[in-house]
Chain A
Amino acid sequence: MTLLQDATSPAKAPKRRKLSSELSILGVLVGIALIFEVLGWIFVGSSFLANQQRLSIIILQVSVIGIIAVGMTQVIITSGIDLSAGSVVGLAAMASASLAQSSTDMRAVYPALTDLWPIWPILAGLFVGLLIGTINGLLIAKTNIPPFIATLGTMVAARGLAKWYTNGQPIALLTPEFTWLGRSFNILGFPLPLPVIIFLVVAFLGHIALRYTRYGKFTYAIGANPQAARVSGINIGAHLIKVYIVCGLLSGLAGVVTAARAASAQAAMGTSYELDAIAAAVIGGTSLAGGVGRMTGTVIGTIILGVMMSGFTFLKVGSYYQEVIKGAIIVLAVAVDQYRRSRKTKA
């Protein structure tokens, strides 16, 4: 008997492995920041990091992407994708801004509905997200259309709706109560913009949902092996609808925040945000093959994106080059994911 007991309890190798993936992403973040710091001293002659304002701007810039990335992470874990997220941002921004105009605007979209309580534009934006998310979910769960195609369709359609809504006219002159959502607060002497707080709260809730709820466990199971998930009693269709609704709602919220921050809205808002959100998730360790990913990784991935954008601007790299480099980094992140997976199965 002693033999068996020995066999079942060899030296405990605790959960170190799981943490290590987060640590390595964090290491990448620190590494990138340090590279910019060094390049900063060489080419610009000033420090990249020792600039409190820049640090808060970095996170502010990516907070909208981050809010989407929280939903996108869950979608990708189910081995799906939501390409419509950026269009939802545009449509939600338009919808919410149209209900957030102040009566000073002579050409308001709804002249009778100006100076409304900010809750109405917020609800309008969320409703747009709910709607498109539900359509995505139903298309994917009830027909056999792959997520890529289904959300490509809603991506084009939602962008079209956003343009049609005001005939392509931007919406401006929003009430200060609404644009308050894009403002900053002073917390312990630190300027904290509200969008950043929203991002962090959303990410925290997303983390809790993925780690500690049945919703989260089923999300991983479906991504890891849909056939086994079904045999284990998971209603895959119903669950996927939930996941795409969550992603849609968060994209809608991102649209509301975008409009509030800009104090205006236009149909092109949020263009290609879905790609940035996917990039943030993938850089943060979420696997496009499904079943793998964590919210903490996505938050770090989002910040990495922000540091890079701000770093390139700081080094005065042209914006076209920036796009090229960003593209290369996304490809690199996916390649790293592939490599990690092939090593996992090979040991």
Chain B
Amino acid sequence: MLSPSTVQAIRESDAVPGSEYLLDVTGVRKEFPGVLALDNVELRLRPGTVHALMGENGAGKSTLMKIIAGIYTPDAGSFKLRNQEIRLSSPLDALENGIAMIHQELNLMNPMTVAENIWIRREPRTAFGFIDHRELRRRTDALFKQLNIPIDPEVEVGKLSVANRQMVEIAKAVSYESDVLIMDEPTSALTEREVEHLFEIIRTLKAQGKGIIYITHKMNELFEIADEVSVFRDGKYIATKPASDLTRDDIIRMMVGREISQMFPKQTVPIGGVVLRVRDLALKGVFEGISFDLKAGEILGIAGLVGAGRSNIAETIFGVTPASSGTIEIQGKTVSVTSPAIAMQHGLAFLTEDRKETGCFLLLDIQENAQVASLRSGYVRYGFVEEDRLSRDCEAMTQALRVKTPDMSEPILNLSGGNQQKVLIARWLLTKPRILILDEPTRGIDVGAKAEIHRMISDLAGQGVAVIMISSEMPEILGMSDRIMTVRQGRMSGMLERAEANQVKIMEMAAQ
């Protein structure tokens, strides 16, 4: 833990004349009912740099970004853009002042095309005032060419994978050509390859003298891309330092105020019999020829590039999009899984990748979000919900996962992204599954809680639960999996045992 005097010393050491800064934010305070989200925080962004903002889930990172982007109004604080006092009253206002933001959650209109989404409210018009689709297409092509993004501008956004939607968000933010670009966990849904791609884009922007505020929970990214690092803890500003002066452990110590184990590798547990047997599973036009066995107590990692079809395979096994051919055998019985309800009857659980679309009930509270999947088969007597037992279990589970919230009847909408993710994990653990499918389980979750979640998954495996885990994070895949399946363009491209797996092999097998 840092003593107050060190914190003070750090603060003084970086006192530089204001003129150097593109954006200079000080004394920001924001209170939500029951939560002081930001307490006298500051952030100074220099032009041509990447400024990483770090902190645990719920530390206030997104809240500050939303204030800077004109979405929330702060209770107090001074904002200087290029040394001018500014007061932003709306996101539009912020955009006009040259501040664009990529949000932690995807914000695209699914029924509209990629091009329409990017240029929304800025569509080129024909002489008659209609949208000029040819020009729209041309602009999008030019933008995608410049950013080297291989997505069809005419396709509906709803048809894209989460990662591709994220790339569209990035392109959209870049298209505003703003001086300040805020990226709130842009890589949480991307694999290493797209991350590299994003970094190239960021480096170009940097060279153009733009300032980028970058939020992430992935430490290794930080040292690759960030010039400066600011750390928040519990809504308070801790320090700002050049990235080169910091080690991983320094940052974590500043973030959590104590030492923590960073990784929690899976323990060796007795592996039982086959509980899930998948043969020749196919979904027309998406993937085919998927065959594997999953044993009790085993964790099967699935690696691959974005668009390889990893999430689609999981969705099909769980009945979200029923298979077009192939068989699924659960505990020795062939089951036709045509809906999630049927999958759940057979002891499956599935944490989806897309928190907003298929995960959260944003209008409902934490309790209601956590309990919903358990009500199908438990906690109900004569149609009545056993409130006491249920809320006790929900509360215990959310506490074990360290969901940061004033109370269980808080709408999940008000939680930070990482805390929402924890509630969704709680939802599925509460169903006491025998086969647990996790798609990017620690997406947006901070280092401390991540180790905790890995420990819980490992414990579950120890109790005989079979786990399928899709993850774009190499350390997570390598640390947690007993076996690793790689998927390439909708086909299995390999299966590695834990002992023989390493990053290079996986990347080779995943690349086309």
Contacts and interface: CB of A to CB of B under 8 A. Distances in A.
A18 B490 CA distance: 47
Interface of A: 1, 3-4, 6-8, 10-15, 17-18, 212-215, 217-218, 220-221, 224-225, 227-235, 291-292, 344-347
Contacts of B363: 224, 291-292, 344
A292 B368 CA distance: 13
Nearest to A341: B363
B372 A13 contact: no
Interface string B449-475: 000000000000000000000000000
A11 B407 CA distance: 9
Given A228-B359, A229-B372, 8 more contacts: A4-B256, A6-B234, A15-B409, A218-B372, A225-B360, A225-B361, A231-B340, A232-B376
Interface in B3-49: 32-36
Interface of B: 32-36, 58, 71-72, 233-234, 256-258, 318, 320, 339-341, 343-344, 350, 352, 357-364, 368, 371-373, 375-376, 380, 383-385, 387, 399, 402-407, 409-411, 413-414, 427
10 contacts: A3-B256, A7-B58, A12-B407, A13-B407, A217-B372, A225-B361, A230-B339, A231-B340, A231-B358, A346-B72
B289 to A, nearest CB: 25
B406 A13 contact: yes
Which 8 interchain pairs have the tightest Cβ spacing? A13-B34, A224-B361, A233-B344, A291-B363, A232-B373, A233-B376, A224-B363, A232-B372
Contacts of B344: 233
A224 to B, nearest CB: 4
Contacts of B33: 13, 17
Contacts of A224: 361-364
B35 A10 contact: yes
B101 to A, nearest CB: 14
Nearest to B355: A228
A221 B372 contact: yes
Nearest to A287: B363
Contact of B341 (A7, A234, A292): A234
Nearest to A17: B33
B357 A214 contact: no
Nearest to B408: A15
Given A225-B362, A228-B358, A291-B361, A214 B387 contact: no
Nearest to B359: A228
A215 B234 CA distance: 39
Contact of B234 (A7, A15, A229, A345): A7
A221 B383 contact: no
Contacts of A6: 234
